[in-house]
Structure 1
Amino acid sequence: MSTLTVFQAFDRSPAREIPMDDAPTLATKLAAAAAAFKDRDGWLKTYERVAILRKVADLLNARAETFAKQIALEGGKPYPDAAVEVARAADGLRNAADELRNFAGKEIPMGLTPASEGRWAFTTKEPIGVVAAISAFNHPLNLIIHQIAPAIAVGCPVIIKPAAATPLSCLDLVALFREAGLEERWCQTLITDDNLLAEKLATDPRVRFLSFIGSAKVGWYLRSKLPPGTRCALEHGGAAPVLIHSSADIGTIIEPITKGAYYHAGQVCVSTQRIFVDRARFDDFVEVLSARVAALRVGDPLLPNTEVGPLIHPREANRVSEWIDEAIAAGAGRIGGGHLSETTLKPSILLNPPPEAKVSQLEVFGPVVCVYGYEDFGSAIEAANGVRWSFQASVFARDIGPALTAAQRLEASAVMINDHTAFRTDWMPFAGRKESGYGVGGIPWTMKDMSEEKMIVLRR
């Protein structure tokens, strides 16, 4: 049996070696999941699913420190932020359980025409079928929760493939479901670094729903390969814009902007990346931002005071460095930056990089923020919208008029007013537009996607 070596993100030392699945193993797991769904008499009752989700939440809380350290180890997220991820994951499990109190169909009016007289119609909710979930590395526990908790809540068998770089949190979470009494056929893992095997999972005709979190290139490709009738949800990335109006208070906005830009070293799909500042406030803003960024504590994510940790792999650190160098060669100014280790970059601020530069057009996914000066607020909105990606955005202003104008005109699924672009709660809708995604995430919305309504009509 082949094995997968999991490395510590910060120093690249081996953390654990785990067995990988092969094609025959995947075939066995798909057969088990399909059989579980076909056996309607064996479906878990709603109260049983509620009890399992709540039990896992309790087990996760009891082992919160262990999970937080593991997230920091395998994914490189600083320990304080990893601890928050664990708390959110436990709350997400409870969210899924609580949502079942209101997860129901509705009555359809009859008797509105002579032909519908004497009938009573209503809908019920049913699980859609086998769910294939492919996840990303940057939130190795909470992303898994967002994919498998809704499936278990509505009664779908799920097979989850974690990122090859960060499988440990997923494996340990699924073990908690076993401990809570969930049979293996309802929640299985696929551990592999073989993209073709992952594609076989995603495109198997027995799979009725694909949940994919990762690169746009892979996600849209997989969607094109899905069998007829298979639904999907895709969550990709963006190049999140921030508009700073002339009325904004520079002193109070730096902290949320810094958090939004450098949280998890910028490895978040809605990380603040492009900041548009009124030209009259540009120098003041850059001065205050650069001072705050210079004070960020960068290094080992297992240390309790670290604010910015490593990137997931040396090749990612090298790629981000190359994009920065390209922007500088094209005329951008630079503040900060540089390598701390082969995976760890010091935070950078790029000043007025060209619109055509990669850092202006593509998702950087690193500790880099671009700052652009503008003369006209309307043109800043136009520039913010001028990329292929559209996810979350934000505007900072003390005047309500410009704030609402930006909220209406920014091409985004969510616009934060006086908060950073990476704000999220796990019960709110979360969706990419344009090339940034397909479908709507968030636990209640995912539960809806993983179910189907059936209408029943009774005639007297």
Structure 2
Amino acid sequence: MKTEKILSPFDGRVIGEMPVSDAAEVESAIVRSQAAFQKMRKLPRFVRADILLKAAELLKERREEFVTTIAGEAGKPLYDARGEVSRAIFNLTNAAAEARRFGGEEVPLDMDAGVFEYQTTDSQGRPIALADLDSEALNRMRRRIGISRRFPIGPILAISPFNFPLNLVVHKVAPAIAVGNSVVLKPAPQTPLTSVLLQRLLRDAGLPDGALEILHCSVPLAESMVRDERFAMVSFTGSAKVGWHIKDIAGRKKVALELGGNGAVVVAEDADLDLAAARCVRGGVVYGGQYCIGVQRILVQQSVAEAFTAKLIERVRACKVGDPMQEGVDVGPVIDQGSALRIQGWIDEAVAAGAVMLHGGPRVGAVIQPTVLTNTAKGMKVEDEEVFGPVLTVNSYDSFEEAIARAGDSKYGLQGGMFTNDLRRAFQAIEDWDVGGLMVNDVPIYRIDNMPFGGWKESGFGREGTKYAMEEMSDIKHLVINYA
């Protein structure tokens, strides 16, 4: 089988080799996934839960192997890679818990007198008025029960991004297993090795053969799978451009899209400026800013803008830039040279159009220096698009209403953040700012993995977070029983 070398984005060294799947291997994987689904759908809840719980235990034991693989192929700083593994352990454990309790509900069928009257007939099939019914007849009418149950829908095609090669894969795979589906995974081409480790781990935990297939394949083959009606659903995380293309070609199957963002943070005059500055740096430049919910646009009330900006710059300067495999490094490379050239080009375009660089430096290979710009405006890519790099824009505002309007003036709507001690503003913001999640006294990067997660507008639709993803990956059958 043909293989492809997977390279470090920092120094180009070989991290490992990945088999490249051709059309025949794609077809075989789909067939195996179909067969595995027939096993998965019949497994008792406790079996699916035990597999996920065992996988979490094995991940704890193999933590360092996953950490070094993530850091190597994704260029992620070690402490961030460790955080990703910890989140994946929680995700697997939480999916095990949800697998045990995920079910349906009783649907009340005796809510409306008019419906009862309409549905009630005598022995000749003629309607009987409610007033003419005796108590026993009324009791018989009450003795219908509706039971809504959720069932797995079939093989899931999961397409995952490079920036979280373990946890964003687990966000798709664990809920699918928990509800009883099989998965064919196409990982990001830059970071497939972590997925192979996860596949081995799940097999060791008892997952049936074929329940998780991994295909490192070309874009045309991936598109053929998106079109393939044997998949019940496509779950995609990645860029808006690719996501909406997937929706266009997916046909009748379910589609869940977790797409991009250009996260905004509003800092009010009553905010804790030290906390706000520290969190904006953590959410904006660490790991090269490669978070779909990362901080990109910061809006600060005019009266505290100078003080906040000084604190922000101080913390940006303190970030250690370098080899992600070394302890203590905050900012390593972006995923490849092409991305670095694009990001640097957007910075240069903004400065040429009137933006002022408060902090930055020359690009070195795929390493972009943490950059802070001010005097940016709509029409600049650093404001309108998703940078996906260590770039922050900082601008001031006068009124809170102006800030929320500007924060929401984006084609994206994934998550936002705001720093204020006025809860009235928080409730005003969530009404007027169309984002999937709003973090008060924190930045949009905040995510606990059982939260409902997803966006508005071009940031996609559908929700991740274990229980919510399980709902997306299942469908309802409704049973009505007349036991009168």
Normalised by the shorter chain, which TM-score bucket? Answer: over 0.9
Q: Deviations over 1:407-453 (max 9, x none)?
A: 33222111111111100000000011100011111111001111111
CA distance in 1, matches of 2:196, 2:374: 42
Give the letter for the 1:426 counterpart.
D
Equivalent residue for 1:142, pick from 153, 167, 172: 167
Query: SS in structure 2 opposite 1:207?
Result: coil
User: Aligned residue for 2:45?
Assistant: 46
Q: Are the equivalent residues in 1 in contact too, given 2:36–2:208 (CA < 8 A)?
A: no
1:168 counterpart letter in structure 2: L
TM-score scaled by structure 2?
0.92
Q: Following TM superposition, by how much is the alpha carbon of 1:133 offset from its aligned partner in structure 2, in angstroms?
A: 0.2
Counterpart residue number, 1:187: 212
1:200 counterpart (204, 218, 224)? 224
Say whether the 8 Å CA contact 1:238–1:391 is kept in structure 2: yes
- CA deviation vs aligned residue, 1:325-362 (integer Å, no higher than 9, x gap): 00000000102222453111110000121211000100
SS of residue paired to 2:92:
helix
CA contact (8 A) 1:235 1:431 kept: yes
- Structure 2 distance, partners of 1:94, 1:39, is 22
Question: 1:96–1:443: 8 Å Cα contact kept in structure 2?
Answer: yes
Which residue of 2 is the match for residue 287 of structure 1? 310
Aligned to 1:64: 63
Indicate the residue corresponding to 2:78 in structure 1. Answer: 79
Which of 355, 371, 383 aligns to 2:394? It is: 371
Amino acid at match of 1:143: L
Q: Supply the RMSD in Å over aligned alpha carbons.
A: 1.5
Deviations 1:192-221 (A, max 9, x none): 2x1111111222101001100111111111
Shift of 1:226: 1.4
Unaligned runs of 5+ in 2: 121-140
SS in structure 1 of the partner of residue 147 of structure 2:
strand
Residue 45 of structure 1: how far off its partner (Å) = 2.0
Kept after mapping to 2: 8 A contact 1:246/1:281: yes
Q: Which amino acid aligns with 2:324?
A: P
Give the aligned partner of residue 292 of structure 2. Answer: 269
- Secondary structure, aligned partner of 1:188: strand
Superposed, 1:7-156 pairs within 5 Å as 7-38=7-38, 43-112=42-111, 113-114=116-117, 115=119, 117=141, 118-156=143-181
Spell out, residue by residue over 1:40-77, the C-alpha distance to the aligned partner (whole angstroms, 9 max, x if none).
Answer: 8x732221111110111111000111111111111011
1:214 partner letter:
G
State the Cα deviation string for residues 200-251 of structure 1 (Å, max 9, x = none).
12221010011001111111111111122x1111011111111111222323
The Cα offsets for residues 173-210 of structure 1, whole Å up to 9 and x where unpaired, read as 00111111212221111112x11111112221010011
The aligned residue for residue 138 of structure 2 is none
Q: Tell me, what secondary structure is at the counterpart of 2:222? A: helix
Provide Cα deviations, 1:246-266, integer angstroms capped at 9, x if missing partner.
222323321111111123211
Name whichever of 31-40 and 305-314 sits farther off.
31-40
- Normalised to the residue count of structure 1, the TM-score between the two structures is 0.96
Q: Over alpha carbons, which structure has the higher Rg?
A: 2
Measure how far apart 1:374 and its partner are.
Answer: 1.5
Taking the TM superposition and a 5 Å limit, the aligned residue runs for 1:232-311 are 232-311=255-334
* Structure 2 counterpart of 1:245, one-letter code: A
| Per-residue CA distance 1:258-299 (angstroms, 9 max, x = gap) | 111123211000101000111222222211111110110111
Inter-partner Cα distance in structure 1 for 2:35 and 2:273: 59
Contact residue 330 and residue 354 of structure 1 kept, 8 A: no
Could you tell me which runs of 5 or more consecutive residues in structure 1 were left unpaired when the two chains were aligned.
none
Correspondent of 2:418 among 386, 392, 395: 395
Number of aligned positions between the proteins: 457
Distance 1:418 1:284 in 2: 18
In structure 2, the partner of 1:444 is 467
* Paired residues of 1:8 and 1:73 also in contact (CA < 8 A): yes
Q: 2:457 aligns with which of 429, 434, 442?
A: 434
Q: Quick one: percent identity of the two aligned structures?
A: 39
